[in-house]
């Protein structure tokens, strides 16, 4: 994660004041499935426009509309029955076919860095305490824009989308160098809620990022008046193995995006015990050693996330799991304009 001024400030204050609670913990999730399903943008529809890489609750299915109640989860916190998904990634071969790259799962950083709007004290959001709330049951949201192929760095919704290969640093758009081993797509979900709607027609407008005028950035700060309620802040990182591929120009996301600016992700809230989620930061002095107990790990240790079989198997389609495919599933056009691809990120 690229440290922002806010997180550096928070880390500094954590290191000098030992009594404060930790404000980040990590969720690790194994892959669940890859399929053309999107129960937020295209509920009840198969096939959706492009192949998604999905982690989390085994309830994930095209008809999933209520709060999910899956049999199991691919995440290491047993009570997290949420789903998280992004477009998956292909390699364009010299023979014109497409190899599906191995999806390795998702790591998400849960942070308590956002504070609710205060008209009494606009702009005052001390590094601790924040007052983020657990997600309301049934919340759905989308970060990023599948149709985007250019970059506007002053737009917070675009600042929230970054890619990284190996440990070469996060950049906007497709990384200029690939390390040949792995690439990840990073999405910072919005953490300010309008306090009323669990979803909205574009799946975004019921949510917002902390207000830049009130010292907010995508990672934290004070919420705007329009979306006054601070929720937990999720930074999600979806990963793929590169199998030795080093040419960034040979990668294409399942939506046809070669720029990386169209990377996006969805969150479908399914935490089974919102109270445990609400308490997850309380009295935890160091990163990560508390949530395991609070989320029901019998040993108090970090269990390994494990792959699971979906409760309802997705419809069969050859998306490339057993060899190259002749076109992107959905016949999505591969974007050819590369002029801004190498714009540097943070
Ligand atoms: C965030 O931290 C504050 C105190 O620092 C606490 O009151 C609040 O419950 C925390 N939120 C969550 C969701 O843990
Ligand atoms: C870039 O984003 C900012 C903030 O959302 C917006 O005000 C501006 O109009 C955008 N610029 C372009 C060229 O779209």
- The residues, ordered by sequence, that sit 6+ positions from 239 with a Cβ below 8 Å of its Cβ are 103, 104, 105, 106, 107, 182, 183, 184
Tens digit of pLDDT at every position of the chain (346 positions): 343 333 333 333 333 333 345 578 889 999 999 999 999 999 988 999 999 999 999 999 988 766 667 899 999 888 899 999 999 999 999 999 999 999 999 999 998 889 999 876 766 676 555 788 999 999 999 999 999 999 999 999 999 999 999 989 999 999 999 999 999 999 999 999 999 999 999 999 999 999 988 878 898 889 999 999 999 999 999 999 999 999 999 999 999 999 999 999 999 999 988 888 887 777 665 555 566 666 766 666 667 899 999 999 999 999 999 999 999 999 999 998 754 444 333 2
155 lines ligand 2 (CB under 6 A): yes
Supply the pLDDT for residue 175: 96
- Strands 114-115, 221-222: parallel, antiparallel or unpaired by DSSP? parallel
Q: What is the DSSP string of 64-123?
A: --SS---S-BSBSSTTB--EEEEE-EEEE-TTS-EEEPPEEEEEEEEE--EE---SSSTT
Q: Are 264 and 273 in contact (CB under 8 A)?
A: no
- Strands 264-268, 98-100: parallel, antiparallel or unpaired by DSSP? unpaired
Supply the pLDDT for residue 285: 57
SS3 assignment, position 240: strand
Ligand index nearest the alpha carbon of residue 230? 1
Supply the pLDDT for residue 70: 86
Supply the pLDDT for residue 289: 55
Strand partners, 85: 54, 266
Closest to 40 measured CA to CA, from 24, 26, 25, 56: 56
Cis ω on the peptide bond leading into residue 129 (within 30° of 0)? yes
- The residues, ordered by sequence, that sit 6+ positions from 55 with a Cβ below 8 Å of its Cβ are 29, 30, 31, 32, 74, 75, 83, 84, 85, 105, 106
Q: How far is the CA of 133 from the centre of ligand 1 (A)?
A: 7
Task: Sort 9 into a burial class: Cβ within 10 Å, 0-12 / 13-18 / 19+.
Answer: middle
Ligand index nearest the alpha carbon of residue 110? 1
Atom of ligand 1 nearest to the CA of 232: 13
How many distinct helices (H) and strands (E) make up the chain?
4, 18
Other CB atoms within a 10 A radius of the CB of residue 125 amount to 25
H or E element, residue 276: helix 274-278
Atom of ligand 1 nearest to the CA of 129: 5
Supply the pLDDT for residue 206: 98
* CA-CA-CA-CA dihedral for 52, 1, 179, 241, to nearest 10: -30
Report field, pTM of the whole predicted structure over 0.85 = yes
Q: Are 265 and 203 in contact (CB under 8 A)?
A: no
Ligand index nearest the alpha carbon of residue 208? 2
Copy the structure tokens of residue 128.
């601790």
Q: How far is the CA of 212 from the centre of ligand 2 (A)?
A: 14
Q: How far is the CA of 130 from the centre of ligand 1 (A)?
A: 6
Spans of all domains in the chain: 21-312+326-332
Spatial separation of the C-alpha atoms in residues 7 and 1, rounded to whole Å: 10
Spatial separation of the C-alpha atoms in residues 116 and 193, rounded to whole Å: 9
152 lines ligand 2 (CB under 6 A): yes
SS3 assignment, position 28: strand
Q: How far is the CA of 154 from the centre of ligand 2 (A)?
A: 6
């Amino acid at each position: 994660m690229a440290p922002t001024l806010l997180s550096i400030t928070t880390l500094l204050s954590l290191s000098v004041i030992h009594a404060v609670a930790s404000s980040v913990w990590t969720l690790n999730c194994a892959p669940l499935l890859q399929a053309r399903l999107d129960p937020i943008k295209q509920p009840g529809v198969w096939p959706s426009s492009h192949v998604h890489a999905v982690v989390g609750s085994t309830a994930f299915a095209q008809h999933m509309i209520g709060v999910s109640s899956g049999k199991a989860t691919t995440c290491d916190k047993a009570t997290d029955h949420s789903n998280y998904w992004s477009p998956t990634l292909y390699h364009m071969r010299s023979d014109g076919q497409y190899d599906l790259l191995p999806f390795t799962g998702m790591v998400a950083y849960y942070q308590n860095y956002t504070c609710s709007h205060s008209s009494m004290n606009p702009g005052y959001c001390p590094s601790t305490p924040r007052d983020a709330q657990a997600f309301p049951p049934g919340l759905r949201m989308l970060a990023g824009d599948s149709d985007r192929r250019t970059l506007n760095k002053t737009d917070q919704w675009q600042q929230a989308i970054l890619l990284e290969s190996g440990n070469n640093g996060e950049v906007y758009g497709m990384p200029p160098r690939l390390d040949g081993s792995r690439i990840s797509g990073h999405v910072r979900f919005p953490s300010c809620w309008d306090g009323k709607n669990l979803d909205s027609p574009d799946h975004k407008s019921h949510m917002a990022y902390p207000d830049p005028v009130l010292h907010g950035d995508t990672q934290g700060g004070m919420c705007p008046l329009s979306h006054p309620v601070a929720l937990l802040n999720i930074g999600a990182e979806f990963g793929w193995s590169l199998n030795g591929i080093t040419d960034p120009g040979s990668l294409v996301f399942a939506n046809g995006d070669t720029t990386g600016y169209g990377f996006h992700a969805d969150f479908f809230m399914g935490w089974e015990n919102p109270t445990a989620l609400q308490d997850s930061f309380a009295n935890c002095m160091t990163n990560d050693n508390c949530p395991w107990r609070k989320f029901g790990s019998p040993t108090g240790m970090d269990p390994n996330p494990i792959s699971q079989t979906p409760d309802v198997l997705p419809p069969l389609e050859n998306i490339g799991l057993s060899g190259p495919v002749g076109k992107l599933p959905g016949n999505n056009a591969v974007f050819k304009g590369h002029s801004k691809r190498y714009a540097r990120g943070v």
